[in-house]
């Protein structure tokens, strides 16, 4: 079986270490804290944001229509727009009731980032992590475009994705697989393409989870063994780190026009994310110029009208004990200004108008998601679009990363071998119940090829060609013989001595709701080593929902293709000490996670960020750095606020050009990566990438644009992006450590 050529892509194994102690942290306490009043003021209050007038002609029109619409509503009808109700005829996970007298059919909100959940007749698309591993902007857009068409066909107004938080700070984070990358630039670029693709169909993209939702442990309040209430974890993040790392991809999504932002379960600086006025009013709606509306994660509301005043517009899946009639009561008794509710309702309806969901042609809410799905119903096929098949296939192929390959007669690609032996629980389709179920204690799924993690982002395959099935077909075409043992649960499978190659398939599970128990498992490691001890050409294929530690087997001499100290960023932070009832997670490492941390401490990772092997070789040359004529390099931007922030943040200040040549003998795709070293910042940060196909003996010209934001740091005093004076280092190559071209620019 010949595998495709893999270009430079994110490493399968990434190690995270804690560094610099400059982030926000809980106040020092010496006795047990029993009241949240101890934390008051850590997240400053920001008054309700003014209603937007529209940052574009289309938004201006949408807000004019929405203002007229809302003026015709009673207080109760306005309130009804802000909280969900149970959809009796459909399986929409969130539903806003219709206002029939004004032609408003309601709003269906549906999971998630890679499929229309709880529906038939739709495709299962690659997860965010897999998309990130492609480094392919066009493919990310095409995936989202077709996925958005399926959401629309099923009557969904709001698709609950993409995920850009968690970004992947905690290696064992249960939801890391839903996001694109732990680099904010790569994550932001792919999020923007995803938002554009989904919304091209008139479906609103809900970019989530805003913000600092980096672990599943204690993401929600709970009750401890003493029957005491334990609040959600507080992600304590300083202003500079927030802007330069965690907010960065959200800013890209807002710039791309995302119509919705979902706030997160956790607290941020000891204020719940969905009632944090600094985040929602101050940063999202004012600083970033966000035009849409904010919705809670499900059951993430922990306050009444104060959450509305803090910038929350909609609560899901219901008003619960806090909203509903309580909002109108708060207005009637003078606790809340009526203009706040008007603002919320207008933002929701303006977004509905902005994306043309008032059109008669837009499908009725939830029309293709019947309740119950197992009952007889009209089948609405949204999956069999011919062009979708190629995008599905390309997405699956390009997200694989080749990290080890032995030259010579062993390794990949296979050249019509006589006998191939296949091992591993991940090689087959799930034709029966798994013999081992995922839980807090388990880290892999036995008896099925894993294509997705668990939780609200999970999906069911429409169809899948498992590795064993695909290998069987290829073996037939190549006149090869195939042997397999995929049921041996004792890791003691026997290898036929005549095997030309042995393929071992393993996986690692992750899910919303709990964090991973580790970054490797003994069973899979033992299986690989057992096969490698017997087979001179062992090829390991890992389907992994996050970071994987491969140290136990990767250096085995017969592994031809395929416990360190991670510090505090390996595992989630539990409640402890005097903050037992108010768990605290101080982001003391600042922006120094992943490759930024390794560069800072001069640590050589096994596979650096951006690493990936190919069947060919590439050479770089002709680096040039040119300032754009007339571009301003003043210290601070001066532009008006538009979607994404001050408009001149997006001005191009410098062009960087170079050439990449294929010096090998086969076609290949190379991901050329541009890194910038800012004065006083991390050694290097990704600020551009381009994936290009290059034929043998040919070269391709590369061009990167460096915008003002790319070269700026956040000034916590001025509360603006600052362009520092000094020298900026420029690096270009195939990974964060393979950078043959270096240059500099001066500001």
Catalytic site residues? 297
- The SS3 of residue 254 is helix
Residues 402-434 as b/e (b if ≥16 CB within 10 A, e otherwise) read: bbbbeeeebbbebeebebbbbbbbbbbbeeeee
> For every residue of 337-378, which 3-state class applies, written as one string?
CHHHHHHHHHHHHHHHHHCCCCCCCCCCCCCCCECCCCCCCC
User: Do 138 and 690 touch, CB atoms closer than 8 A?
Assistant: no
- The SS3 of residue 625 is strand
Q: Which residue has the tokens 């304590």?
A: 236
- Pairing assessment for the beta strands 158-159 and 204-210 based on DSSP bridges: parallel
Rounded Cα distance, 186 and 208, in Å = 16
* Chain centroid, CA 743 distance in Å: 32
Sign of the CA dihedral 604, 399, 246, 647?
Answer: positive
Rounded Cα distance, 343 and 350, in Å = 10
- The SS3 of residue 652 is strand
Q: Which residue has the tokens 């296979």?
A: 414
Rounded Cα distance, 696 and 218, in Å = 53
> For every residue of 264-325, which 3-state class applies, written as one string?
CCCEECCEEHHHCHHHHHHHHHHHCCCCCEEEECCCCCCCCHHHHHCCCCEECCCCCCCCCH
Question: Nearest CA to 635 among 746, 729, 720, 744?
Answer: 720
Q: Which parts of 581-730 fold into alpha helices (H)? A: 595-601
Q: Which residue has the tokens 């393993």?
A: 506
**Helices and strands: H and E segment counts in the chain:** 15, 28
Which contacts (CB < 8 Å, 24+ apart) does range 298-301 have? 298/93, 298/94, 298/456, 299/220, 300/220, 300/263, 300/264, 300/265, 300/272, 300/273, 300/274, 301/274, 301/275
Q: Which residue has the tokens 């509905």?
A: 352
Rounded Cα distance, 246 and 589, in Å = 13
User: From residue 8, how far is each of 5, 402, 551, 621, 737 by CA, in Å?
Assistant: 10, 9, 21, 17, 11
What is the number of alpha carbons within 13 Å of residue 627 lying toward its C-beta? 10
Sign of the CA dihedral 205, 206, 212, 217?
Answer: negative
Rounded Cα distance, 308 and 702, in Å = 48
Rounded Cα distance, 468 and 503, in Å = 10
Q: Which parts of 42-171 fold into alpha helices (H)? A: 57-71, 75-80, 128-134, 137-153
Q: Which residue has the tokens 């191939």?
A: 420
User: Do 310 and 275 touch, CB atoms closer than 8 A?
Assistant: yes
Report the C-alpha dihedral over residues 713, 671, 191, 706, rounded to 10 degrees. 30
> For every residue of 536-552, which 3-state class applies, written as one string?
CCEEEEEEECCCCCCCC
User: From residue 75, how far is each of 186, 342, 597 by CA, in Å?
Assistant: 44, 9, 52
User: Do 709 and 618 touch, CB atoms closer than 8 A?
Assistant: no
């Amino acid at each position: 079986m010949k595998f495709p050529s893999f270009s430079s892509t994110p490493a399968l194994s990434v190690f995270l270490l804690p560094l610099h102690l400059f982030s926000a942290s809980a106040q020092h306490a010496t006795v047990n804290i029993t009241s949240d009043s101890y934390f008051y003021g850590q997240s400053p209050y920001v008054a309700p944001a003014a209603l937007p007038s529209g940052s574009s002609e289309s938004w201006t029109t949408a807000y004019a229509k929405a203002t007229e619409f809302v003026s015709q509503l009673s207080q109760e009808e306005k309130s009804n727009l802000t909280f969900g109700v149970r959809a009796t005829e459909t399986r929409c996970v969130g539903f806003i009731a219709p206002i029939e007298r004004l032609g408003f059919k309601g709003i269906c909100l549906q999971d998630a980032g890679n499929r229309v959940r709880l529906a038939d007749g739709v495709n299962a698309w690659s997860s965010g992590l897999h998309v990130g591993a492609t480094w392919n902007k066009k493919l990310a857009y095409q995936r989202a475009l077709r996925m958005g068409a399926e959401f629309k066909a099923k009557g969904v107004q709001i698709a609950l994705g993409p995920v850009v938080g968690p970004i992947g700070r905690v290696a064992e984070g249960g939801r890391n697989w839903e996001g694109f990358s732990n680099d904010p630039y790569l994550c932001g670029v792919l999020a923007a393409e995803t938002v554009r693709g989904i919304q091209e169909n008139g479906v609103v993209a809900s970019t989530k989870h805003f913000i600092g939702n980096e672990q599943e442990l204690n993401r929600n309040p709970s009750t401890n063994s003493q029957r005491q209430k334990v609040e959600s974890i507080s992600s304590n993040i300083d202003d500079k780190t927030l802007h330069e790392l965690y907010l960065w991809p959200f800013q890209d999504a807002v710039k791309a026009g995302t119509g919705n932002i979902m706030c997160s379960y956790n607290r941020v600086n000891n204020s719940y994310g969905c009632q944090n006025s600094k985040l929602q009013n101050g940063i999202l709606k004012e600083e970033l110029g966000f035009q849409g509306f904010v919705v809670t994660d499900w059951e993430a509301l922990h306050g009444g009208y104060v959450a509305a005043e803090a910038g929350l517009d909609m609560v899901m899946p219901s008003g619960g004990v806090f909203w509903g009639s309580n909002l109108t009561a708060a207005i009637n008794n003078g606790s809340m200004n009526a203009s706040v509710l008007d603002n919320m309702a207008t933002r929701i309806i303006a977004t509905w108008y902005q994306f043309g969901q008032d059109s008669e042609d837009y499908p009725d809410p939830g029309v293709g998601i019947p309740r119950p799905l197992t009952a007889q119903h009209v089948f609405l096929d949204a999956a069999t679009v011919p062009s979708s098949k190629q995008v599905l296939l390309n997405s699956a192929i390009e997200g694989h990363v080749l990290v080890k390959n032995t030259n010579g007669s062993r390794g990949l690609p296979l050249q019509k071998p006589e006998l191939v032996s296949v091992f591993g629980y991940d090689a087959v389709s799930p034709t029966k119940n798994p013999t081992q179920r995922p839980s807090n204690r388990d880290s892999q799924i036995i008896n099925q090829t894993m294509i997705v993690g668990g939780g609200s982002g999970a999906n069911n395959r429409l169809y899948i060609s498992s590795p064993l099935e695909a290998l069987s077909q290829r073996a037939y075409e190549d006149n090869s013989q195939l042997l397999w043992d995929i049921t041996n649960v004792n890791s003691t499978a026997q290898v036929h001595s005549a095997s030309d190659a042995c393929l071992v398939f393993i996986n690692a599970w992750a899910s919303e709701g709990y964090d991973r128990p580790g970054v490797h498992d003994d069973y899979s490691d033992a299986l690989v080593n057992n096969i490698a001890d017997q087979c001179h050409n062992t090829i390991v294929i890992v389907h992994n929902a996050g970071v994987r530690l491969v140290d136990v087997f990767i250096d085995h001499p017969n592994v031809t293709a395929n416990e360190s100290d991670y510090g505090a960023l390996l595992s989630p932070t539990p409640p402890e000490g005097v903050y037992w009832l108010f768990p605290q997670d101080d982001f003391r490492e600042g922006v120094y996670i992943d490759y930024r941390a390794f560069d800072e401490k001069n640590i050589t990772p096994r596979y650096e960020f951006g690493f990936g092997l190919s069947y060919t070789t590439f050479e770089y040359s002709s680096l040039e750095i040119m300032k754009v004529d007339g571009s301003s390099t003043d210290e601070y931007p001066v532009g008006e606020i538009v979607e994404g922030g001050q408009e001149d943040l997006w001005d191009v200040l410098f062009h960087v050009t170079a050439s990449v040549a294929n010096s090998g003998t086969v076609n290949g795709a190379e991901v050329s990566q541009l890194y910038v070293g800012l004065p006083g910042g991390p050694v290097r940060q990704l600020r551009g990438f381009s994936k290009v196909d290059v034929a043998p003996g040919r070269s391709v010209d590369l061009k990167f644009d460096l915008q003002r934001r790319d070269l700026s740091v956040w000034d916590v005093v001025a509360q603006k992006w600052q362009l520092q004076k000094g020298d900026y280092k420029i690096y270009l190559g195939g990974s964060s450590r393979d950078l043959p071209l270096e240059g500099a620019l001066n500001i």
